[in-house]
Chains A and B, each alone.
Chain A
């Protein structure tokens, strides 16, 4: 029997398609993430019709940091605690930078590297596995950061 699994945040992350779900304003095309808004936040637009907008699944690392201390709850740490890397990833097609952990299975990644989205286990509770988005290094090109 397989363990049932579900997205840890179904409105934000479609785990079956491995897509982060933003929203886009149908009037000015501004994109937003997370999708927890009902009105366009472009101050010169004020559009009130937003549609679900899956974000790009590939991006370039804007920056990264590796956390070496166990964070407070509600983070669920392994035992023993393992350091983990958080990436800020620039999605060119969507014009924004979004956060996500680097997959523990990914090779190390640096600023300017391309990464791809994947679905991984966040934790397991009484209802099964909760899934979350993570990034993994793409074996394609790296660019130098323009200073």
Chain B
């Protein structure tokens, strides 16, 4: 099977700017088009990742972005999969290209995020489990992050200082990224001195909410080859993209659920959900964890980054703290994780985030990452998890 190429990338910096998500998306899209060296009128498909906070127009993101760029008769797609929305949008564009329905697609995700905790969507539906988890339990999103973190402490002897070390590492990378929102280097002591949010996690362990946008121009390999001949070769390939669901019974408590599936009648699968996202992508690409030169993982909290090391196969279960301490995942290490600075440095702009991860992989594989460049970067994975059983992993190869 032929792959698809990433021909151009663009971002709007992350932060809080008080503008509309459509404006952020336009800036990122224009940057991606310029980077690809193509005109807006060359684009045959716009795949938008929906924002769930932007009001009604946000729920038709593909059209909102296309109108902002100027109606052009393109195919449209709008995807919502919570934090995996951006990857679903890439997946929609990729499937169209692989099916031969188009050669050039523009993928855009942008968001305007409220400050502080995400609340239940839609307000007052008192039968909605998402409303009820706040009402009955006060189970905010960081509550789930705290449960996972405490579990690492109990099961593997992790410490709050280990978690703080992840933040310090990511802040050092983020300080080198002009698109990051938080560019100050943070120390472990500063993390530990910040207030608890969901103990054992401190304020600086938990990612913020941000505005931001990211865009990709993805094309057929033939189209990319022709463009490369014109411009001197900078495309990378998307070799795999997984969006699989969990397998029943999912025996890990997942946001926003009240309970896990039961393993009473059917034993838990050998592979958990998040691990399955990675292994589906590895299988599709014909690659494995040993092939990775870098990874972008969804560090909604510092402790979750450690979980991801194990899910993507960088180490065995319970070994994440060790490879962190050994510097394996730092810039300069064997497999730098979150060389962009991660969510720790960006804050989360939900529908843009999975696209931003692929932007970083692309920039790294091209050798354009400047001071945060991973040497000899040829294979990178991005991975994330959304609410409700959504998740994604993308493998990009040079």
| A residues at B contact (CB < 8 Å) | 8-9, 25, 28-34, 36, 41-45, 62-69, 71-77, 84, 86, 88, 94-101, 110-112, 122, 132, 145-147
Given contacts A64-B147, A75-B135, A99-B258, contact A88 B253 (CB under 8 A): yes
Residues of A within 8 Å of B244, CB to CB, are: none
* Total number of B residues with any Cβ neighbor in A under 8 Å: 52
Closest residue of chain B to A95 (Cβ to Cβ) is B264
Whether a CB of chain A sits under 8 angstroms from the CB of B73 is: no
Residues of A within 8 Å of B120, CB to CB, are: 72, 74
**Contacting residue for B197 out of A63, A69, A74, A88, CB 8 A:** A69
The answer to whether B258 and A33 touch across the interface, beta carbons within 8 angstroms, is yes
Given contacts A29-B264, A30-B264, A72-B119, contact A66 B196 (CB under 8 A): yes
The answer to whether B261 and A41 touch across the interface, beta carbons within 8 angstroms, is yes
Residues of A within 8 Å of B199, CB to CB, are: 65-68
Name, among B131, B133, B137, B263, the residue most crowded by chain A CB atoms within 10 Å (CB to CB).
Answer: B137
The answer to whether B140 and A67 touch across the interface, beta carbons within 8 angstroms, is yes
Kindly provide the distance from the CB of A36 to the nearest chain B CB, expressed in whole angstroms.
7
Name, among A32, A66, A77, A94, the residue most crowded by chain B CB atoms within 10 Å (CB to CB).
Answer: A66
Residues of B within 8 Å of A29, CB to CB, are: 264-265
The answer to whether A42 and B198 touch across the interface, beta carbons within 8 angstroms, is no
Considering the chains assembled together, what is the distance between the CA atoms of A48 and B117 in angstroms?
A: 38
Q: List 9 A-B contacts (CB under 8 A).
A: A31-B265, A34-B129, A42-B248, A42-B266, A64-B147, A69-B195, A96-B262, A98-B260, A145-B154
**Contacting residue for B154 out of A34, A69, A111, CB 8 A:** A111
* 0 or 1 for each of B156-182: is its CB under 8 Å from A? (1 = yes): 100000000000000000000000000
Q: In residues 129-161 of chain B, which contact A (Cβ within 8 Å)?
A: 129, 131-140, 142-143, 145-151, 153-156
**Contacting residue for A101 out of B117, B134, B137, B153, CB 8 A:** B137
The answer to whether B146 and A74 touch across the interface, beta carbons within 8 angstroms, is no
Residues of B within 8 Å of A9, CB to CB, are: 132, 136
Kindly provide the distance from the CB of A41 to the nearest chain B CB, expressed in whole angstroms.
7
Top-10 shortest CB links A-B: A65-B146, A95-B264, A111-B154, A72-B119, A66-B199, A31-B262, A63-B151, A95-B263, A95-B262, A98-B259
